[in-house]
Amino acid sequence: MRRTLRLVLPHLDGQRTLLAGGGVLLLAEVLFRVLEPWPTKLAIDALTRSLGADLTDSGPQASLQLLLACGLATIAIIGLRAVCNYGATVAFALGGSRVATRLRARVFDHVQGLSRSYHGRARSGDVVQRLVADVGRLQEVAVSAGMPLVVNVFTLVAMLGVMTWLDPVLALIVLVAILVFGLFSRLSTGKITTASRKTRRSEGELANVAQETLTGMTHVQAYGMEGDRSATFQGSNDRSLKDGVVARRLAAGLERRTDVLVGIATAAVLMLGGLRVLQGAMTPGDMVIFLTYLKTSMKPLRDLAKYTGRIARASASGERVADLLDETPDIVSPADPVRLGVVRGGLELRDVTLEFVPGLPVLRGVDLAVAPGERVAVVGPSGSGKSTVASLLLRLLDPGSGSVHLDGTDLRDLDLRDLRSQIALVQQEAVLFTGTIEDNIRQGRPEASDHQVRRAARLARVTEFTDDLPDGLQTVVSERGGSLSGGQRQRISLARAFLRDAPVLLLDEPTTGLDPDNVTLVGEAIAELSRGRTTVMITHDLDIARAADRVVVLEQGRVTWSGPPEQAPLDGVLEESRG
């Protein structure tokens, strides 16, 4: 729980006044709760005296006035308590929402900054579960459990103090009940937290299975995998159910033990209190106020048992969020980066070796220099390390040994944002986001004018299909661009690169999987886009390779050939890569 509190505390800045106001209203509500039964006590004592032999000198008229005053006081106290409760609830709900919003934004920014090594091993569904559901659980519990818990604790302490003042003997019974509850809670909380942690982990697995299946639905349906995916989902679902039942069973057990404890304490107070009234040690009004306090103070014990389970589940969620924030990126900007001047676009890999699995290098002593404005095609069999070269140039990876340079400066000496702002990337699978076609193009340079966006769309041949759409560039793109063909998505990706207008262009299999017509259109756009820019084209496409100034053959992580395309062994290498 302390770890969860440390996670939340930094985000309270700016909310302290709001939360302090809510805290004052909470204390006022506790005060009105303590005052609430006193008009009833005064009325009962007055009635008892009026019905007895010892009548007041002022007569029944005074008792009637007292009863009227007690009734009005009760209405006022209950009304003020309701106002305080409403204000405190709104204050804590608003503060909790703001804190959760800040925390979620912090986690999202942190996840975006994590390196490829993390995203390569992380399960995206589980990360989304932590980002959305786990942070949301922290917010919900702060309002639905945290605030009532604070109210109940203060109420319990205040009423116990008043009960001790009224009758220390009866107050001792309540105190013993509280201590026994504390023992029950201590024994159960650890088990509930452990079970809740397992539940959240199972729910993360469940979310990941669902996301994988929905993302690959075409493949699932084409290969008739529905039964297999359903079985996998059901297995995760059953584990989530089992872990959830364990957590709720433990919480329910604590609640029921608390009910029994409260019943025993109430019976003991009722019997002993009745005897003390008969003995004259208490007035009937004292007995009523004591029983009212007992009932009111026992409710916090029941609620504490109920909220223990909720808070344990929130603690487990907080730990999952904290675990995510504890992940540190292995690719970071230097503390004092070299400032980039005018970038000419010279690229160089110097004796680069990289391995993901110890003893199995992906690249082996690669030396590769690309002159400013030169167009180089990198070809080779699948698994030869071609895409790894692109990742190194973007500094998504760092070499195990050797170095990568831009205009003679080691990439590790550059600010990551500055470096990547000089590079336009077009991948094999065009990445589109929900929004309009124009929105997706504008991601290349958000500050670009509408004219510049339209020009980029025209150069990338996007307007050849958007002109036929009712909304043109304002056509909304569905999730992952599913409403567009592969060629259309790739042309939007190229338009994004046109708009970025960066000195370095990276193309990673830009025509793979496209039909001949789209290959021609994309090829024409690439020829225009790469003119005058340093271009590294990773490709299996013979025509794109032949359009380069130079071809580099990469095999088994080594550069085995480099030279003009007309002399390159393209047919053999590309045939091998297709095989």
CA torsion angle 369 370 372 378 (round to 10): -170
**Residue for token pair 């000419």:** 344
Query: If 0-12 CB within 10 Å is exposed, 13-18 middle and 19+ buried, where does residue 431 land?
Result: middle
3-state SS class at 341: coil
From the list 567, 498, 490, the residue with the least C-alpha distance to 533 is 498
Q: Which pLDDT does position 223 carry in this prediction? A: 57
Q: Residue 197: what pLDDT?
A: 74
Structure tokens at 8: 């939340």
pLDDT at 548: 92
Tens-digit pLDDT string for the chain (579 aa) = 677 777 777 777 777 788 888 889 988 988 898 888 888 888 887 777 655 534 344 455 656 777 788 889 999 999 999 999 899 888 888 887 888 888 888 888 888 888 877 877 877 778 888 888 788 777 766 666 666 677 777 888 888 888 888 888 888 888 888 788 778 877 777 777 777 778 777 877 777 788 777 766 755 765 577 788 888 888 878 887 887 788 778 877 877 887 888 788 888 888 888 888 788 777 788 778 777 877 776 666 666 666 666 777 777 788 888 888 888 888 899 999 999 889 999 999 999 999 988 888 999 999 999 999 999 999 988 888 898 999 999 998 999 999 999 999 999 999 999 999 999 999 888 888 888 999 999 989 999 999 999 999 999 999 999 999 999 999 988 777 777 888 888 899 999 999 999 999 999 988 887 788 888 888 888 888 889 899 999 988 888 888 899 999 999 999 999 999 888 887 656 555 554
Question: What pLDDT is stored for residue 415 in this prediction?
Answer: 94
* Gap between the Cα atoms of 547 and 523, Å rounded: 10
List, in order of start, the domains of the chain with CATH numbers.
8-326 (1.20.1560.10), 347-578 (3.40.50.300)
Write down the pLDDT at residue 154. Answer: 82
Helix (H, G, I), strand (E, B) or coil at 184: helix
d(CA 33, CA 486): 66
The predicted pLDDT at position 55 comes to 36
* Spatial distance between the Cα atoms of 467 and 464, rounded to a whole number of angstroms: 6
Residue 507: per-residue pLDDT: 92
- Backbone φ and ψ for 435, nearest 5 degrees, come out as 150, -165
In 3D space, the residue among 103, 99, 92, 83 whose CA is nearest the CA of residue 19 turns out to be 92
- What pLDDT is stored for residue 573 in this prediction? 61
- Taking a C-beta distance cutoff of 8 angstroms, is the pair 333, 412 a contact? no
- pLDDT score for 147: 65
Q: What is the pLDDT of residue 402?
A: 96
Nearest Cα neighbor of 250 from 304, 299, 193 is 193
Task: Please state, in angstroms and rounded to a whole number, the distance separating the CA atoms of residues 399 and 410.
Answer: 11
Q: What is the pLDDT of residue 308?
A: 67
- Look at residues 543, 455, 391, 466 and name the one whose alpha carbon lies nearest to residue 526: 543
Element (H or E) spanning 377, and its range? strand 375-379
Distance CA 344, CA 559 (A): 24
Q: What is the pLDDT of residues 478-524, one digit of tens each?
A: 777 777 888 888 899 999 999 999 999 999 988 887 788 888 888 88
User: Would you say 39 and 71 are in contact if contact means Cβ atoms under 8 Å apart?
Assistant: yes
Q: How far apart are the two ends of the chain, measured CA to CA in Å?
A: 56
Percent of the chain exceeding pLDDT 90 equals 27
How many other β-carbons are positioned within 10 Å of the β-carbon of residue 243?
Answer: 20
Beta bridge partners of 404: 349
Global pTM value: 0.69
Measured in degrees and rounded to the nearest 5, phi and psi for residue 404 equal: -125, 135
Q: What is the pLDDT of residue 301?
A: 65
Going by the DSSP 8-state scheme, the letter that residue 565 receives in this structure is G
